[in-house]
Structure 1
Amino acid sequence: MSQTAHIPSHRKPRRSASKLALRAGVAGGVLSTIAVAGAAGPANAEPVTETIEMPTLCSLGADLSSAVAASAEASEQEALDQSLEAQEAAALEKAAKDAKKAKAEADRKAEAERAEKARKEAEAKAEAERVAAEARARASRDAARTQLASTSASSSDANPGAGSSNDGGSSAGSSSESTQVSSGTAASIVAFARAQVGDAYVSGGTGPNSWDCSGLVQAAYAAAGIDLPRISYQQSSMGTSVSLSNLQPGDILYWGSRSGSYHVAIYVGGGKYVGAQNPSTGVVERSLDWDTPSGAVRIL
């Protein structure tokens, strides 16, 4: 490499032929005008001293630079405006999507609230109907119990010797009276038991609206004026054992052994019994075939 290669050149850049011709033409035209004016004027005319300022290439370049800068600024402003318009359009589109999504969510919540309200109203209506049905059933049972009490009182007044033992030799009349009293007592027991159908089963329950098996049997016999023990195996140990083929209304049915029964109920006739079965069924009237008892005893 030459040792002088790094030294910058001080030569002036060559001017293009077109630019030189332009300047030469302008200068020539001006000089010609001056010459013609001088020849045509008087001899004693004063020399022209006014200086005409000629445009230079530097001023033309500055004007061109200004024009280019203005054009670039305009292009930049236009690009900025287009960018702002695009951003505004995107913001509008996003806002529209957000509004649509918010409306859909509001509609969904409103529908869910309407469904929840309808569900609660249905539950409240069902609960009101259930309470009303229970009230009607309770009123019916209370009426039946009142009628039963009145019937029992009337039967006692009409038969003052009911439930008492004979105080001497037996006779046909006393035998007939005993049979009539027993029949009336059994009817009272059956009527009381049937009046409790629909009540709840509660372990240890003794009424008036909830029972266990032995509590119901004890209360039914108490309504007829007969005292029974509280426990099921004690109840089934009383009276006389009878076969299931020779049952009479008012007989006590038991499940298990007679001296160790775990469940008792009251035979009501027609092959059916009433008993407080369990928490899921409550007090029911069922056929003997539904749950065949182990045996029966007769207290009356």
Structure 2
Amino acid sequence: MSHTAHIRSHRKPRRSATTSIAVRAGVAGGVLSMAAAGASASAFAAESTTQTIELPTLSADLGSQVAESADAMQQAAANYQLQAERDAAAASAAKQAKADLAEAKKAEAKKKAEEARRAAAEEAASRSSARATLSASAGASVSTSSSTATGSAAAVIAFVKAQIGDAYVSGGTGPSSWDCSGLVQTAFKQVGIDLPRVSQDQSTAGTQVSLSNLQPGDILYWGSAGSAYHVAVYVGDGMFVGAQNPSTGVAEKPLSYDPPTGAVRVL
């Protein structure tokens, strides 16, 4: 047996007539399909280019609403501006009113201070005039008795003279500082007489006596009886002792130094 008898041949097999016809038919069908697809695409493209797109248009109602909304926004802005201007005006008016009030208060305080100064000056002038008048007639109307005090009057006089040189302090009742009524009250307490605390009451505590008939130990007062503003003790010989003021303290002075208005006697 030959060795080549079993090797297959490498030659291509021949196509049969039926196979060739089928191939040709398939190729022709594919070409026709592609041609049809191209024609369909061309027709679609042509139709697409001629289509009209319609955009929505504003209706009359919608346009009116837009206009009204714009007007409302403009009116709101105008209202806001007007309110801001009103607020600024109100703040400015309040500030001005506050300044005016402060200025008015300042002017009123200045006016009251001026009135008080004028009243004080008039009062001082009135007192000075009264003192001058009383001083001019002091020699004739005030007794300058030099009789020696005895008994309770002597004790009162000794006490007030012992305090000469002490300080004057408003409300003071001793032992080293006094006001006028505190000194008089404490002096008479030495002899068992309990006087009221203030000048007004001390000026009506005893029997009213004339300044031309004074005796040692009488209480002198300045101002009206019942509304006196100062008191002292008459010690004889035209002299009195009293807690005068912060600058002099307790001092002995002549009646002409500050002529009294009246006197009361309690001894």
Using the size of structure 1 for normalisation, the TM-score is 0.39
Which structure's CA Rg is the greater one? Answer: 2
Bigger relative contact order, structure 1 or 2 (CA pairs below 8 A, ≥6 apart): 2
TM-score by length of 2: 0.44
